[in-house]
Structure 1
Amino acid sequence: MKLGCIGDDFTGSSDLANVLAKEGMRVTQFTGVPRGPAPADIDAGVVALKSRTIPADEAVQLSLEALDWLRAQGCEQIFFKYCSTFDSTPEGNIGPVIDALLDRLGTETAIVCPAFPATGRSVYQGHLFVNDRLLSDSGMENHPLTPMTDADIRRVLARQTRRGVGHVPASTVFEGAEAIGDAVAAEAGAGRPLVVVDAIRDADLRQIGRAARDLSLVTGGSGVALGLPANHLGTDRAVPPSESWTGLSGPAALLAGSASRMTRAQIARWADGNPAREITADDVMQDRVTPDTAAAEALSCEGTMLLYSSADPETVKDAQDRYGREVVAGRLEAFFAATARKLVEGGVTRLVTAGGETSGAVVEGLDITTLRIGPEIAPGVPAVAAEGRELVLALKSGNFGDEDFFAKALATLEGRT
């Protein structure tokens, strides 16, 4: 294994694996830190953790365990993948994990670049944009767990790390890999070894990847991975995943736990003419709806049912104020995990989930350990297959995909375009 990757959630890890596979790498995604050796024929391994919103010390410990396993597999470079909207709190977990990984690797310098232009994420003058809006005005300021109210990635990261934070501007990035590498080295030499690098185009990401050839640690959104495979591969490339994907037919279900603007638009589109059932926080907290009853309703309906808990920000905040933010989040994740188990036990072979925390809870609840990467459904969202099981999934971050995503996902999972 040449490239070892650590993802802080399951949807983002699938996104990363998809990017690497499209660039020619043989990739396997692992759920949690594997206990045994990796397959001998893969170029990159992606260890998917559910560490984005857990306490920082726990996230550090999990990430170090993943790092140790990846290094034992012979990885020459480590990539730490976080969300392209830099989801975090003032305390972390991005900064503390980067610090810990650098310490364990015995090095100081790392690139920081959450840009992913294909999904509308760009970094310019150190600020993160979502399409034409600053991160802090994109809807992420209302995220129920990691509200992002500051678009300056340098300032956000500086609150989380004990290392200095530097910056390489777009004007330098446009000059190419050599100029980027020199600028990163200069920032590190000036005591700013965590270097935020601007990127607004895929071409920028490829140049950043070339510039990072000799770095032990690269960090960012999955977009930066565009430039990494060329550093590790020869002229041969793996078979693109879409050429070997056949999909599965059979019953399907949709689960949505994201309150993002796009997920709510996707829910509205699906519910206009298809079965849909809202599950409120009160329903779950007061046991008015249980995994048994929700799964039974979905399995017995005509067509594919969407079960969703994706309220507007004011409703989410009201529930958090009454029950506690962590309590509500934990109960909803447990609900969706248990519901997914009931659905699969009832014969569901195609499962689509929306929301990073929801997807992570579902994958853990289904005890999926290894995922095979299939074709891309939307930028940042591949179809995936649970290794050794008759089950295919789409694991979607909240803001990814267009309004017709659910229909497209079901078609792709079945092997239709």
Structure 2
Amino acid sequence: MSLLPESAQLPQGLLLSYYGDDFTGSTDAMEVMSAAGLPTVLFLRTPDAAMLARFPEVRCIGIAGSSRGRSPQWMEEHLPQAFTALAALGAPVMQYKVCSTFDSSPETGSIGRAIDIGTRHLRGDWSPMVVGAPRLKRYQLFGNLFAAVDGQGYRLDRHPTMSRHPVTPMDEADLRRHLRRQTARRLELVDMLQLRDGAVQAQARLESLRGGDAPVVLIDVLDDETQRQAGRLVWEGRGAGVFSASSSGLQYALTAYWRERGWIAAQPSLPKAGPVPV
């Protein structure tokens, strides 16, 4: 049993649950949590009680979905069931896991529509969004998303592939402007300067943005420092439960903050695979 006070350690049970908008992105999120030493299970459909009972020590549960290529109408028909099941698990953070290139449109893979659906299930006073993930060469700066390829960084609307995506081309790197086409929800930002001003100032900025309309609050992530600060804002601001549409940048941010606090192992690593029958 830990001798640390309750406020100085992670709570018992689930820490995070998520619905992934495609299979590969779902495994990305699972990898980050598993590498941090947090047992994670990924289901291919909404798990029932019997399935969940097989994993009593799990700390993160995911469902691999297919909404990245679906219409808003499909989302309205299928996402509520998944979000209801995830919310019932009681994890303090529930995520709609999106790709770190944020490719989406009002007609296909609408992240804004997923946010509108998800926030009905966890009625917090804000909805954090963390997209930047330096390990994946994804960076958010003043609300604009950048990605590096072959050693060169690009604003996403000038990226050699994402700006030419055949279904959801990114023609706007400012994620607030991009999302405004998909949702009428208030969109706000905690930028890198506010993060680097220190924890007190960043928290004050966040407190000024929260409200009964549960705004989406994007949090810049440029480097390790801002990544940890983003994790701190989400975790310390989770309240009774928070919904977040984010890339695996959310997992990277949370685990970076937990690691800084000494709540998880300092050196992340994936468990070694054992032998299999031949």
TM over 0.5: yes
Residue of structure 2 in register with 1:101 after alignment: 118
- 1:133 paired residue number: 154
Separation (CA, whole Å) in 1 of partners of 2:249 and 2:216: 18
Deviations 1:3-27 (A, max 9, x none): 1112111111111111111222111
Counterpart Cα distance in 2 of 1:137 and 1:247: 45
Partner secondary structure for residue 45 of structure 1: strand
Q: Offset of 1:51 from its aligned partner? A: 0.7
1:13 pairs with one of 26, 30, 39:
26
**Residue 246 of structure 2 is aligned to residue 220 of structure 1:** yes
What are the within-5 Å matches in structure 2 for residues 195-234 of structure 1? 195-213=217-235, 214-215=237-238, 216-229=242-255
Deviation readout 1:120-170 (Å, 9 max, x if unpaired): 110111111112211011121111221111111010111111211111111
Residues 179 and 249 (structure 1), Cα distance of their counterparts in 2 relative to 1, 3 Å cut:
farther
Q: What TM-score does the superposition give when structure 1 sets the normalisation length?
A: 0.55
Distance 1:179 1:152, change over 3 A: same
Contact 2:141–2:192 (Cα < 8 Å) also in 1? yes
Q: Which residue does the alignment assign to 1:145?
A: 167
2:87–2:122 contact (8 Å) kept in structure 1: no
Quick check: 1:26–1:42 contact (8 Å CA) kept in 2?
Answer: yes
Q: Is the 8 A contact 1:206 1:224 kept in 2?
A: no
CA distance in 1, matches of 2:262, 2:193: 31
Partner of 1:26 in structure 2?
A: 39
Does residue 169 of structure 1 match 2:186? no
Q: Give the 3 Å change call, closer, same or farther, for CA 234–72 of structure 1 in structure 2.
A: farther
The one-letter amino acid paired with 2:121 is: R
The residue type equivalent to 2:92 in the other structure is: E
Call closer, same or farther: CA 1:157–1:22 in 2, change over 3 Å. same
Instruction: Give the 3 Å change call, closer, same or farther, for CA 75–166 of structure 1 in structure 2.
Output: same
- Please state if 1:111 is matched with 2:139: no
Deviation at 1:190, TM superposition (A): 10
Aligned to 2:56: 40
Cα distance between partner residues in 2 of 1:231 and 1:74: 19
The CA deviation at 1:244 is: 3.0
- Separation in 1 of the partners of 2:223 and 2:156? 17
SS at match of 1:212: helix
Structure 1 residues 104-129: Cα deviation after superposition (integer angstroms, max 9, x where no partner) = 22234111221111121101111111
Q: What is the Cα deviation at residue 71 of structure 1?
A: 2.6
State the partner residue of 2:5: none
Any conservation in 2 of the 1:31–1:48 contact (CA below 8 Å)?
yes
Q: Equivalent residue of 1:123, what SS?
A: strand
Matching residue's letter, 2:114: V
Deviations 1:149-198 (A, max 9, x none): 11110101111112111111110122344433322221235978111221
Deviations 1:197-217 (A, max 9, x none): 211113312211111123212
Per the alignment, residue 11 of structure 2 pairs with none
Verify the 8 A CA contact 2:34 2:270 in the aligned structure 1: no
After TM superposition, the structure 1 = structure 2 runs for residues 318-357 of structure 1, keeping only pairs within 5 Å, are none
Alpha-carbon shift at residue 96 of structure 1 (Å):
0.8
Partner AA of 1:183 in structure 2: R
Shift of 1:60: 3.9
Match of 1:343 in 2: none
The amino acid across from 2:132 in the alignment is A
**Which digits, 9 at most, give the CA deviation of each residue in 1:352-390, with x for residues without a partner?**
xxxxxxxxxxxxxxxxxxxxxxxxxxxxxxxxxxxxxxx
Rounded Cα–Cα distance in structure 2 between residues aligned with 1:234 and 1:117: 21
Residue identity opposite 2:253 in structure 1: G
User: Higher relative contact order at CA 8 Å, sep ≥6: structure 1 or structure 2?
Assistant: 2
Given that residues 49 and 62 in structure 1 are in contact (C-alpha distance below 8 angstroms), is that contact kept between their aligned partners in structure 2? Answer: no
CA contact (8 A) 2:36 2:269 kept: no
Measured in 2, the distance between the counterparts of 1:217 and 1:63 equals 14
Tell me the matched-pair count. 250
Q: Distance in 2 between matches of 1:13 and 1:148?
A: 21
Query: Which residue identity does 1:193 align to in structure 2?
Result: P
Structure 1, unmatched stretches of 5+, are 251-417
Deviations, residues 284-334 of structure 1 (Å, cap 9, x unaligned): xxxxxxxxxxxxxxxxxxxxxxxxxxxxxxxxxxxxxxxxxxxxxxxxxxx
Unaligned runs of 5+ in 2: 1-13
Larger radius of gyration: 1
SS in 1 for 2:189: strand
- In 2, Cα distance between the equivalents of 1:129 and 1:120? 8
For residues 1-55 of structure 1, give each alpha carbon's deviation from its aligned partner in whole angstroms, at most 9, with x where no partner exists: 2311121111111111111112221111111212334221100111111111111
Q: Is the 2:37–2:269 contact (alpha carbons within 8 Å) kept by the matching residues of 1? A: no
- CA distance in 2 between counterparts of 1:142 and 1:152 reads 17
CA distance in 1, matches of 2:200, 2:120: 26
Same amino acid, percent of matched pairs = 29
Match of 1:128, SS state, is strand
